[in-house]
Chain A
């Protein structure tokens, strides 16, 4: 088709265009935003080098293994064994994951597959609100509501029924591993639930429809098609939640009891990595003390980075094939 005669007029540059090809502007813009992109890498490098630099002294003075597995923490006598904190962090996070993942998966299934549609919006809103509440407020609620409730109802109840297990022995004082684990479970629930919902959305519809068409009930269809397909993504969601639980500070600091001890009983007071940093960093006196706390931060950083990277890989594996932005 021949061009219309006024094509020359149509090709006149718009008033927004500069005079001539604007190579310089494009290059400057490209360089500018690349610089900001590079800032991300610089930030990561800065975090790593700062933490590494600050922890060097403790690792050199105390020895890595002795530091990580020693269980004697007494800054006044320059004794730094991090094991009670590592243990407390692992135990409370394990409780949180064990409680939060089933509840989150149930909630996600209810919202995306099973529940009435009318409930979806209000429940999704509730989850968003839960995610937006600052952790110090969770701590406040934990300290004055959850802990007394555990002390007078839940812990005596558990002891009466399951008291023969080592996990449920000792005086029920409320403050301790169980309280910290419970509050962590509540706090990571929005993360796990919302990622699980996103993952469930990526399950191809024909899979489920096929199962339903063959006569499966809704639950059977979910069991046979949705859950197997989404499993890596749900594991990824759980890992993201675990990463958040390991690093959560304020709420745990307020309810775990802050005793650098190792107990099998979940009723006993303990301590966690973030909690000890929060409590002692500002008042740390000796250089070794500061450095020891910083290296606890480095340990925490390392664990969460590995977990997050793993979670990203798993979640991406599920949503592969789904175009970016649609997921």
Chain B
């Protein structure tokens, strides 16, 4: 057997190596956050939030239509995905212990790994090809298809966290099952489900790939669901791959705006879930 000193050295070495893993993971994160903030802040102004994009070389201009477009797309996606995703999650938690539940749970988990670009193709076939036009509706549908599996999974998790005693107490009082599910179990799980919704919305707001050929882009304001629509993410992409220095700066600023939006949603979710946990303690 090797000497104790050698074994202790090996132990220390691997502790250090695993610590290096932490450093390697966090360095890109810090670099990215720092650059987005430092590069983005230069062009940040009130008009950047409210103006339409300006042509190359022209000063000013913003991503107002992109912000509005992203909100519109996310709203359409939520309108489709929230009922379906949450409903499916409740099904998995309440009636998902049988064979059918296992199959649906498995399909949900597999679906949540489907690449977003593939979902874009599906939305293209379902909406764009039939309407013969790129539209916010198609983009919203693509985002909805991405949101449903994640929502279903996390809703199930949160509903299952509700103590069985609560449900039993309600049933023992003679409350029918459906009312117990709706007014006792779901109400208890509500904070958790809202957290899940916020996280799903944040993820959808940051999606680019499925929007490239569904909602496309738009130079102007648009609030009509059957028209092509600008979005913050597609705008960042277009600015970034353009050959113009001026647009590169705008890409960083738009990235900062997107990061703020996504960060805000995540922070809200975090605060909500922390309150819930402290309430339970």
Query: Which A positions have Cβ atoms within 8 angstroms of B?
Result: 11, 13-14, 16-18, 21-22, 25-26, 28-30, 32-41, 43-44, 46-47, 50-51, 53-54, 102-107, 109-111, 114-115, 119, 123, 126-130, 132-141, 143-145, 186, 189, 193, 217-220, 222, 240, 243-244, 246-250, 254, 274, 277-278, 281-282, 293-294, 297, 300-301, 304-305, 307-309, 311-312, 324-325
Contacts and interface: CB of A to CB of B under 8 A. Distances in A.
Contacts of A28: 178
Interface in B217-255: 233, 236-237, 240-241, 248, 251-252, 255
Interface string B1-27: 000000110110011011111101110
Given A50-B125, A137-B36, A145 B31 contact: yes
A91 B90 CA distance: 41
Interface of B: 7-8, 10-11, 14-15, 17-22, 24-26, 28-29, 31-33, 35-36, 83-84, 86-88, 90-92, 94-96, 100-101, 103-104, 106-122, 124-126, 134, 145, 148-149, 152, 157, 160-161, 170, 173-179, 181-183, 202-203, 205-209, 212-213, 216, 233, 236-237, 240-241, 248, 251-252, 255, 258-259, 262-263, 266
Given A115-B18, A217-B10, A137 B259 contact: yes
Nearest to B113: A308
8 contacts: A36-B88, A51-B122, A54-B121, A135-B206, A145-B32, A247-B117, A304-B113, A308-B112
Given A217-B7, A278-B212, A309 B90 contact: no
B252 A33 contact: no
Nearest to A143: B240
B202 A132 contact: yes
Contacts of A32: 87
Nearest to A293: B121
B145 A297 contact: no
Contacts of B108: 40
A297 B148 contact: no
Contact of B25 (A51, A107, A136): A107
A40 B104 contact: yes
Nearest to B14: A219
A40 B126 contact: no
A111 B8 CA distance: 20
A132 B262 contact: yes
A137 B232 CA distance: 11
A282 B262 CA distance: 27
Contact of B21 (A103, A218, A243, A309): A103
A176 to B, nearest CB: 16
Contact of A33 (B10, B95, B117, B157): B95
A133 B36 CA distance: 11
Contacts of B120: 277, 281
A137 B208 CA distance: 10
Contacts of A137: 32, 36, 206, 236, 255, 258-259
Find the residue from B160, B209, B241 having the highest chain A CB count within 10 A: B209
Contact of B157 (A17, A133, A138, A325): A325
A120 to B, nearest CB: 10
A193 B26 CA distance: 12
Nearest to A22: B176
Given A43-B111, A309-B106, A53 B125 contact: yes
Contacts of A128: 266
B209 A193 contact: no
A29 B35 CA distance: 51
B237 A16 contact: no
A53 B124 CA distance: 12
B124 to A, nearest CB: 7
Contacts of A300: 115, 117-118
